[in-house]
Structure 1
């Protein structure tokens, strides 16, 4: 059975056509606030129910409850604060305002609350560090002085060069139902697939009806693969190595927080809203640097028996020369001298230097896709 949306109901916060037309026509009469690209994406994810049960940005009660207890004030599991920050509000509580990104009115917001917050507390509780070298912490330290809470209505979406690959929760739920999938495992990725990824995905698929590959598109770090490279690589992998009736690919736009274990829970909630019943939790899931332990995210799931989606903990895969294939530590009896670890960093270095990875590390078709791009990496 496709999972119920988080909180019980799939949120939809999109202005009706006539309402949108009226608001756009009256836009000069509204107070306004500018949002960055990440907040514009958050608005889309709220509006389409990817962040269900949120109907807008968090008010102070929910914000503090998320920091302290990893739950909304009504006790619904929620681990990442979805907030709107401003340096100096030019509006008041009770106002309806328009949120703009790059001169485009993205949403109308009903301002319920304007409140202050402690940035160090935010950083420490969400990221487990106040180190400004952590990208998530640095983002928090650069936020405005105030947070604004309240419900939103989406007016416009950002230009989407990958609309062909974009499916919303209301669409994936129909797709899964049409395919007769009752159990669906979701896999989040922001990399091109190597053999380790394929092993983990197919190991999970063995136990469920369908596999939902859900690459994250959006802002990435220097050296990461470009969005179009990731999509093309998965396309060719699906064409040659995945059963058509048991796997599907759709993208989601989302700004990574690099919050490790907390973000792993958040990613699971997002996929629950898409309709997944299971979620693959990776090694060092949503981590960065050495701020989190390699399997720390696995432990946090024990604190959420009411999450409503089943985590799948599949250990990191490696190639064993004695076994002659991809294995993991649970099923391989051989010593480390026979193991070849498949590191994304190592693969990138090989590709950058023009070296073709061995087939036990990466499918040759995937390598050819990467090589077909003049510059496959973010600069």
Structure 2
């Protein structure tokens, strides 16, 4: 059975055509608030139910409850603050404002609350560190001094170069039902696939009806693969190595927070809203640097028995020369010298140096896709 949306109902916050037309014709009458790309993407995810049950940006009670208890004020599990920051509000509580990304009016917002917050507390609670070297912490420190909470109505979406692969939760739920999938495992990724990823995905698929690979597109840190490289790599992998009736690929635009265990829960909630019943949680999920333990993202799920989606945990895996296959410590008896561990950094360095990764690390077809780009990495 396709999972129920988080909070029980799939949110849809999109202005009706006549309402949209009227708002846009009167846009000069509204206070104008400029937002960045990440907040514009958050608006889309709120409007299409990816962030159900949120109907807008968090008000103070919900924000503080998420920081302190990893739950909304009504006790619904929620771990990442979805907030709108401003430097100097030129509007008041009770006003309606238009949110603009560059010159595009993205949404109308009904301002319920304007409040201040402690940036160090925000950083410490969400990222477990106050060090500005952490990209999520740096993002918080760069935010405006006020947060604005209230419900939104989407007016326009940002241009989407990957519309072909964009499916909203209402669409994936229909797709899963049409395919007869009652159990669906979701896989979150921001990388091109190596053989280790394929091993995890197919291992999980043996226990469910369908595999939902859901790459994150959007702002990434330096050295990550570009969006178009990830898509092309999965296209070729699906063509040659995945059963067509048991796997599907759709993207989601989202700004990574690199919040480790808290973000693992958030990623699971997002895929629950897409209709997934299971979610793959890997080693150091959504981590960066050495800020989190390798399996912190596994342990945090113990705090959320009411999450409504089943995590599937995978320990570190590797290629064993003696076994001649991809294995993990539970099933391989051989010593360290027989093991080749998967390392995204190692594979990226090989590609930069013009070396061909061994076939047990990366499918040749995937490597050829990467090699076809002059520069496959984010600068």
Report TM bin, short chain.
over 0.9
Deviations 1:266-297 (A, max 9, x none): 00000000000000001000000000000011
* 2:363 aligned partner: 363
Deviations 1:117-160 (A, max 9, x none): 00011000000111111100011011001000000000000000
Provide the C-alpha distance between the structure 1 equivalents of 2:221 and 2:117, rounded to a whole number of angstroms: 28
Q: Give structure 1 stretches of 5+ with no counterpart.
A: none
TM-score, length-scaled by structure 2? 1.00
**2:89 aligned with 1:89:** yes
Runs (4 or more) in structure 1 with deviation over 3 Å come to: none
Provide the C-alpha distance between the structure 2 equivalents of 1:150 and 1:354, rounded to a whole number of angstroms: 51
* 2:285 aligned partner: 285
Q: Cα distance, 1:330 vs. partner? A: 1.2
* 2:242 aligned partner: 242
Provide the C-alpha distance between the structure 1 equivalents of 2:352 and 2:314, rounded to a whole number of angstroms: 29
Q: Secondary structure of the equivalent of 2:21?
A: helix
User: Which shows bigger deviation, 335-344 or 263-272?
Assistant: 335-344
RMSD across aligned positions (CA): 0.5
Q: Give structure 2 stretches of 5+ with no counterpart.
A: none
The 8 Å contact of residues 105 and 155 in structure 1, kept in 2 or not, is answered as yes
**2:41 aligned with 1:17:** no
* 2:134 aligned partner: 134
The 8 Å contact of residues 196 and 316 in structure 1, kept in 2 or not, is answered as no
What does 1:1-379 correspond to in 2, within 5 Å?
A: 1-379=1-379
Provide the C-alpha distance between the structure 2 equivalents of 1:180 and 1:138, rounded to a whole number of angstroms: 44
Q: Secondary structure of the equivalent of 2:200?
A: helix
The 8 Å contact of residues 60 and 113 in structure 1, kept in 2 or not, is answered as yes
Q: Cα distance, 1:2 vs. partner? A: 0.3
Provide the C-alpha distance between the structure 2 equivalents of 1:328 and 1:214, rounded to a whole number of angstroms: 24
Q: Cα distance, 1:377 vs. partner? A: 1.1
Provide the C-alpha distance between the structure 1 equivalents of 2:346 and 2:373, rounded to a whole number of angstroms: 19
Provide the C-alpha distance between the structure 1 equivalents of 2:292 and 2:352, rounded to a whole number of angstroms: 28
Provide the C-alpha distance between the structure 1 equivalents of 2:316 and 2:369, rounded to a whole number of angstroms: 25
Q: Cα distance, 1:316 vs. partner? A: 2.1
Q: Secondary structure of the equivalent of 2:214?
A: strand
Q: Secondary structure of the equivalent of 2:270?
A: helix
How many residue pairs align between the two structures? 379
Provide the C-alpha distance between the structure 2 equivalents of 1:67 and 1:219, rounded to a whole number of angstroms: 24
Deviations 1:92-137 (A, max 9, x none): 0000000000110000000000000000110000001111111000
Provide the C-alpha distance between the structure 1 equivalents of 2:282 and 2:358, rounded to a whole number of angstroms: 23
Provide the C-alpha distance between the structure 2 equivalents of 1:317 and 1:54, rounded to a whole number of angstroms: 36
Q: Secondary structure of the equivalent of 1:79?
A: coil
Q: Secondary structure of the equivalent of 1:115?
A: strand
Provide the C-alpha distance between the structure 2 equivalents of 1:363 and 1:170, rounded to a whole number of angstroms: 33
Provide the C-alpha distance between the structure 1 equivalents of 2:49 and 2:134, rounded to a whole number of angstroms: 29
Deviations 1:300-354 (A, max 9, x none): 0000000000000012221000100111111111111100011110001111111
Provide the C-alpha distance between the structure 2 equivalents of 1:128 and 1:348, rounded to a whole number of angstroms: 28
